[in-house]
Amino acid sequence: MILLDGRKTSNDIKDEITREVQEMKDKGERVPHLAAVLVGNDGASLTYVGSKVKACERVGFESTLIQLPHTVSEVELLDTIDELNKNEEIDGFIIQLPLPKQINSQKVLMAVDPKKDVDGFHPTNFGKMALDMSTFIPATPFGILTLLERYKVETQGKHTVVIGRSHIVGRPMSILMGRKGFPGNSTVTLTHSYTKNMKEITRDADIIITALGVPGFLKADMVKDGVVIIDVGITRVPDESRARGYYITGDVDFENVSKKAGYITPVPGGVGPMTIAMLLKNTLLAREQAK
């Protein structure tokens, strides 16, 4: 079994980006600038956004964090987006999800200028991705592709089973794994809560990408020997014995599934760190395209 080490790979990518930023500085160019909009004070979202800002510092990017109260109106949020769209100092920005109930997330994501949409959530960018056009690929799927690429995991002709059809992970992953090229050329099955015979489908899979948020969902009797496992689940399980009051776990029964797997991502330290590295990569791309 080979561990797909997202921590190491993301550090390699951050080092590569740091070198590119240094070259920009040496040439007297403005460095990339990422902004993040955080609405409310959900613990997990605060942690994610904090990690994104810290990652910017690490590679030498400028960053701006805009915090809005959970009571913010849709109009106020749309005004903030309008300002970010117009601000020439900002190369890319993200609206951390989920958003409070009074806000229509679709409307908000559609207000982001596609040229600054480093999350790749705007329909224009999502459509370009589906059509094999060059664009921002959402950070988590981009991170998974990069892990498969750097570890040279064969995907051509393989049966890839994606579990979960979220707009952020499952849906884009199902498109990307079936695209022409590497990683890609897979035969893809997209499964969800209405899928019948889940076990039969996963037992036939060469590659399983699970993004459910259900701890321990994927068990050893659901996979075949040599399977490639990408665990995108990140669930906080309350645990008073830990200083933080919780621990993080994925969708996979790692202890038992890892004994059968050819490759597997750990949680934490797998897909999570890759997501942040790829957001930086998209921001660098946005900066280069803005030149």
Q: Are strands 235-238 and 246-249 parallel, antiparallel or unpaired?
A: antiparallel
Minimum CB separation of residue 96 from ligand GUN in Å reads 5
Binding of ligand GUN by 68 (CB under 6 A): no
Binding piece for ligand GUN, criterion CB under 6 A, among 57-65, 68-76, 95-103, 255-263: 95-103
Query: d(Cα 207, Cα 129) in Å, to the nearest integer?
Result: 21
The CA-atom distances, in angstroms, between 161 and each of 21, 85, 166, 230, 273 are 37, 37, 14, 10, 22
Q: Which of residues 256-285 bind ligand GUN (CB under 6 A)?
A: 275
Binding of ligand GUN by 119 (CB under 6 A): yes
Which of 95, 267 has the CB closer to ligand GUN? 95
Is residue 67 among the annotated active site residues? Answer: no
Is residue 52 among the annotated active site residues? Answer: yes
| Residues ≥6 apart with Cβ < 8 Å to 156 | 182, 184, 185, 186
Residue type at 75 in one-letter notation? V
Dihedrals φ, ψ of 119, to 5°?
-80, -15
Minimum CB separation of residue 286 from ligand GUN in Å reads 15
Minimum CB separation of residue 45 from ligand GUN in Å reads 7
Binding of ligand GUN by 96 (CB under 6 A): yes
Per-residue binder mask for ligand GUN (CB under 6 A), 19-48, x = binder: ------------------------------
Minimum CB separation of residue 149 from ligand GUN in Å reads 19
Per-residue binder mask for ligand GUN (CB under 6 A), 155-194, x = binder: -------------x--------------------------
Binding of ligand GUN by 139 (CB under 6 A): yes
Find, among 93, 177, 105, the residue nearest to 136 by Cα. 93
Binding of ligand GUN by 117 (CB under 6 A): no
Selecting among 52, 91, 231, 251, the annotated active-site residue is 52
Which of 116, 253 has the CB closer to ligand GUN? 116
Which of 11, 105 has the CB closer to ligand GUN? 105
Whether residue 269 contacts residue 6, with contact meaning beta carbons closer than 8 Å, is answered with yes
Whether residue 247 contacts residue 230, with contact meaning beta carbons closer than 8 Å, is answered with no
Binding of ligand GUN by 248 (CB under 6 A): no
Binding of ligand GUN by 228 (CB under 6 A): no
Selecting among 5, 91, 117, 119, the annotated active-site residue is 119
Whether residue 142 contacts residue 150, with contact meaning beta carbons closer than 8 Å, is answered with no
How many residues contact ligand GUN, by CB under 6 A? 9
Is residue 102 among the annotated active site residues? Answer: no
DSSP string, 151-192: TT---TT-EEEEE---TTTHHHHHHHHHSSSSS---EEEEE-
- Selected from 35, 84, 94, 112, the binder of ligand GUN by CB under 6 A is 94
Tell me the three-class secondary structure of 31-61, residue by residue.
Answer: CCEEEEEEECCCHHHHHHHHHHHHHHHHHCC
Residue type at 77 in one-letter notation? L
- Tell me the catalytic residues: 52, 96, 119
